[in-house]
Every structure is written in structure tokens, then in C-alpha cells.
């Protein structure tokens, strides 16, 4: 990828669910460009289209029309299996609900993406331990989610998301289930991953305090981009 090329480029993206009189247009022509190393907070009221856009960005859904390019590859032209490979090798996901396996240790939870990828056991263990250390959980490898606080569980989830060394981290309300202090710790961690590891971060949030950690805030309203500004600029 050339230095001038965008990591992500969405052009005229629409998404319609249903058909006929029951049709609902969730996205109405989204244009969005994201450079490598950016940290973008996506905000907007419920029903604004931000979650639909994140699902398309994460290759969990496909647009009805328009073009989505990831590192110059037209994602909408990929097969289902090719999109799965893109997710597996280039994207990491963090969710509000942690989505950890309950009777599985932190180490085993973090290893999961590497198991799906077919990495050998010794390599998986080493990578998972390194990811847990990176999020401040060295020594907690053999604890199950029930033995961890909410903040620690989200750290495990972040370690699982970064263990594959993704180019992009997609975070959907990553602090939604956490108290204020723990939320700040998690955002400090995500911010450090962006600054120090160069991981591009795309985060959906309802909370202005959390969006303030981002370099850029994109607001969705009624299926369109309503505003797109760098943090620190006047709204």
C-alpha cells in the first residue's frame, strides 16, 4: 500500500434491509476515508446507522450499493470466505459485553483467534501471554472470567482482539458495561495501542468523554455522515 493510499475508503455506501413497503434504508450514501494510524470515534443517536456502518467496516455485513476498499481491495467483490480471511488476519473486535467463554481461562480466550487461524500450540501460547502482558494482565493467564473484574475481562477481550496483530481494532461501546474509573483505564489502554503500536482504532460510543480520547469524531444522523472533525476543532 502506498503511503498516500487510504487504509479504508467508503464511497456512496448504502444499506437497505427488507424490500417493498417494508424496506428500511439504514445507510443513505456514506463517504468515509480513514488513514492508517487514525483513531476515529463514531457517534450518533440510536438508528443513525453507525452500527450498520461498523458491521460493514468489520466485514460482518455487505453494503447494498457503493464501494468499500480496505488497503485498496474492493471488499464488496470478495467472496464470503475471502471476507472471513480479511476479518481473521487484519481486524480485531472488542464488544461491550466482552464475549468471553465462561469456563475458559484468560489465556485460552486470547488464543481463540489463533486456533481458528491454525497457529501451532507453542506459538499460540507465546502470543497469548505476550498479548495479556501488553494489556497489564501478566500473571492472570489461568483465571476464568468469573474470577476477573469487569475491567479485567475487557482487558482479556482486548488482548484477544490484538493477539493477531490486526491492522484495525473495531470497538463497539467498549466501556458501556464499566464504571467511570475503569472506563478511563480501558480508554487509556486503547489509546496507547493506537499511539505505540500504530493500530488504527474505529470505536462506536454514545459517550462524549470516551470520544474525547479519539483523534477524530464522525457523527451519524439518519443514515448519513452529519459531521466529521478532528478532536480539538470547533464543532
* Residue 197's CATH number: 3.40.50.300
Model pTM score = 0.91
Q: Of 168, 166, 171, nearest to 155 (Cα)?
A: 171
3 within domain boundaries: no
Decide the pairing of beta strands 200-204 and 39-43: parallel
Asked if pLDDT for residue 33 goes beyond 50, the answer is yes
**83 pLDDT more than 80:** yes
In a domain, 57, yes or no: no
In a domain, 101, yes or no: yes
Name the pairing type of β-strands 73-74 and 65-70: antiparallel
Query: What is the extent of the structural domain holding 133?
Result: 37-51+88-230
Q: What total of structural domains would you count in the chain?
A: 1
C-alpha cell at 155: 482487558
150-162 and 121-134 helices, crossing angle to 10°: 130
For residue 193, give Cα distances in angstroms to 19, 99, 152, 166, 234: 42, 20, 16, 11, 26
Beta bridge partners of 95: 172
∠ Cα 197 149 177 (to 5°) = 75
152-166 average pLDDT score: 95
Whole-angstrom Cα distance, residue 74 to residue 11? 11
Average pLDDT, the chain: 93
Residue 61 lies in a domain: no
β-pairing, 24-34 vs 216-221, is unpaired
Instruction: Check pLDDT > 90 for residue 234.
Output: no
Span between the terminal Cα atoms of the chain, in Å: 32
Q: How confident is the model at residue 142 (pLDDT cuts 50, 70, 90)?
A: very high
Residue 183 lies in a domain: yes
Q: Tell me: the pLDDT tens digits for 56-69?
A: 999 999 999 999 99
Per the domain annotation, does 6 fall within a domain?
no
Is the pLDDT at 3 greater than 50, yes or no? no
Amino acid at each position: 500500500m502506498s503511503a498516500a493510499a487510504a487504509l479504508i475508503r467508503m464511497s456512496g455506501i448504502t444499506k437497505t434491509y427488507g424490500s417493498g413497503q417494508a424496506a428500511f434504508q439504514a445507510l443513505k450514501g456514506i463517504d468515509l476515508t480513514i488513514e492508517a494510524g487514525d483513531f476515529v470515534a463514531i457517534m450518533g443517536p440510536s438508528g443513525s446507522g453507525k452500527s450498520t456502518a461498523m458491521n460493514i467496516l468489520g466485514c460482518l455485513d455487505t453494503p447494498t450499493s457503493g464501494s468499500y476498499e480496505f488497503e485498496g481491495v474492493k471488499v464488496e467483490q470478495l467472496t464470503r470466505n475471502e471476507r472471513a480471511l480479511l476479518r481473521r488476519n487484519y481486524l480485531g473486535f472488542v464488544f461491550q459485553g466482552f464475549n468471553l467463554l465462561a469456563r475458559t481461562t484468560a489465556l485460552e480466550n486470547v488464543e481463540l483467534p489463533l486456533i481458528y487461524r491454525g497457529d501451532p500450540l507453542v506459538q499460540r501460547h507465546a502470543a497469548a501471554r505476550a498479548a495479556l502482558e501488553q494489556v497489564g494482565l501478566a500473571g492472570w493467564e489461568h483465571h476464568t472470567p468469573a474470577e476477573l473484574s469487569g475491567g479485567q475481562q475487557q482487558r482479556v477481550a482486548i488482548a484477544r482482539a490484538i493477539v493477531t496483530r490486526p491492522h484495525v481494532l473495531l470497538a463497539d461501546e467498549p466501556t458501556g458495561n464499566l464504571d467511570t474509573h475503569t472506563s478511563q483505564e480501558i480508554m487509556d489502554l486503547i489509546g496507547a495501542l493506537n499511539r505505540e503500536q500504530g493500530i488504527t482504532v474505529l470505536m462506536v460510543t454514545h459517550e462524549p468523554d470516551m470520544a474525547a480520547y479519539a483523534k477524530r469524531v464522525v457523527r451519524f444522523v439518519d443514515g448519513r455522515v452529519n459531521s466529521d472533525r478532528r478532536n480539538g476543532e470547533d464543532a
